[in-house]
């Protein structure tokens, strides 16, 4: 199987074709020229480098062209293992071809349109919430002044009111569309004590979707909730820590949900108390509970069942 590395930038794509690296424009015409130049049966290898590759990826999928989307960190570490001393668009394309031949990454499967659009809406919602927090902080600082500027005060109040309306509309549309697309899963996840509407929605929109993960371990790794061990020989004994290689937003939400799950969710409460009895700190125990929540969520969707608070007791008996 022949792998064709493609390096992406805003203006151009550099493709490592059999005749050499060719630079083409990031336009529909450039994408069409690339598709025409690809050898039969070739697999394209792209890095997941933000929005610049989305249009090309869509064009490849529409043409039925096999494509792999690989983690840039893996490619960077691979380049370091090869002791590469130079980095250009041309050499990056060649590196991606070599990476594909060595590791034969899995083919990329396109996400459903509804999932992509809801993820975009969720990202916009988070961005606007950050802007609201910044404006509220500025408003608070302005109020501490003995002579607050009336023009600034009025503008801040108007902008905050506009943002509140926009956030309310976005949150409602996001919840309504999630209910329309995966209403049964949305309701099923909320039967888990510690998982509310916001966490349930984030689980459904995580990566390729919670259902798409092959197992709960993959889902936990995606959220960065799996432990990372650091040991070597007899002298290096680092404490296990969270990998934190994954979706930080989902990890933070699950950690918040772990607070209530450690009290209301029987399996999570038992795990929490057991870890505290072993001398673990509360944040460590809560991270383990967050991972357990994600494991429960994946299991409910995989087995098409609602939450059973006594299920862990049946397993232990």
The string over 54-65, giving b where at least 16 C-beta atoms fall within 10 Å of a residue's C-beta and e elsewhere, is eebbebbeeeeb
Q: Write the pLDDT tens digit of every residue in 25-47.
A: 999 999 999 999 999 999 999 99
Q: Where are any strands of DSSP class E within 152-273?
A: 227-232, 236-242
More confident residue, 236 or 294: 294
Residue 299 has pLDDT above 90, yes or no: yes
Tens-digit pLDDT profile for residues 218-272: 999 999 998 877 767 767 667 777 878 888 999 999 999 999 999 999 999 999 9
Handedness of CA 91, 97, 99, 101 (dihedral sign): negative
Answer yes or no: CATH 3.40.50.10420 is held by domain 3-103: no
Beta strands in 9-151 (DSSP E): 12-17, 20-25, 43-47, 67-70
| 135-173 tens-digit pLDDT | 999 999 999 999 999 999 999 999 999 999 999 999 999
pLDDT tens readout for residues 192-219: 999 999 999 999 999 888 999 999 999 9
Instruction: Give dist(CA 57, CA 251) in Å, integer.
Output: 28
Q: How far apart are CA 206 and CA 252, in angstroms?
A: 13
What is the predicted pLDDT for the residue at 23? 95
- How does pLDDT run across 65-116, given as a tens digit for each residue? 999 999 999 999 999 998 888 889 999 999 999 999 999 999 999 889 999 9
Return mean pLDDT, the chain: 91
| pLDDT at residue number 255 | 94
Q: What is the DSSP string of 201-223?
A: HHHHTSTT-GGGSSSHHHHHHHT
Q: What is the pTM of this model?
A: 0.83
């Amino acid at each position: 199987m022949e792998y064709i590395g493609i390096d992406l930038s805003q203006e151009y794509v550099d493709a490592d074709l059999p005749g050499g690296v060719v630079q083409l424009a990031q336009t529909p015409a450039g994408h069409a020229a690339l598709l025409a130049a690809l050898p039969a049966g070739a697999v394209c290898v792209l890095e997941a480098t933000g929005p610049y590759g989305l249009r090309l990826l869509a064009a490849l999928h529409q043409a039925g062209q096999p494509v792999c989307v690989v983690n840039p960190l893996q490619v960077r570490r691979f380049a370091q293992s090869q002791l590469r001393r130079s980095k250009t668009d041309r050499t990056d394309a060649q590196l991606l071809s070599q990476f594909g031949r060595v590791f034969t990454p899995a083919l990329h499967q396109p996400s459903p349109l509804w999932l992509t659009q809801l993820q975009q809406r969720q990202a916009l919602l988070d961005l606007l919430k950050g802007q609201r927090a910044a404006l509220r902080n500025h408003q608070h600082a302005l109020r501490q002044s003995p002579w607050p500027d009336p023009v600034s005060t009025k503008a801040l109040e108007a902008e905050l009111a506009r943002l509140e309306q926009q956030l309310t509309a976005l949150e409602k549309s996001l919840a309504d569309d999630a209910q329309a697309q995966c209403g049964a899963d949305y309701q099923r996840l909320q039967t888990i004590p510690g998982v509310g509407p916001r966490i349930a929605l984030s689980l459904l929109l995580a990566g390729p979707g919670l259902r798409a993960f092959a197992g709960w371990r993959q889902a936990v790794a995606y959220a960065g909730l799996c432990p990372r061990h650091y040991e070597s020989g007899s002298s290096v004994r680092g404490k296990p820590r969270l990998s934190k290689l994954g979706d930080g937003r989902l990890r933070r939400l699950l950690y918040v949900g772990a607070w209530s799950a450690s009290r209301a969710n029987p399996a999570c409460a038992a795990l929490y108390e057991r870890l505290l009895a072993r001398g673990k700190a509360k944040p460590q125990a809560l991270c383990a509970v967050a991972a357990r929540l994600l494991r429960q969520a994946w299991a409910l969707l995989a087995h098409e069942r609602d939450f059973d608070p006594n299920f862990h007791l049946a397993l232990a008996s």
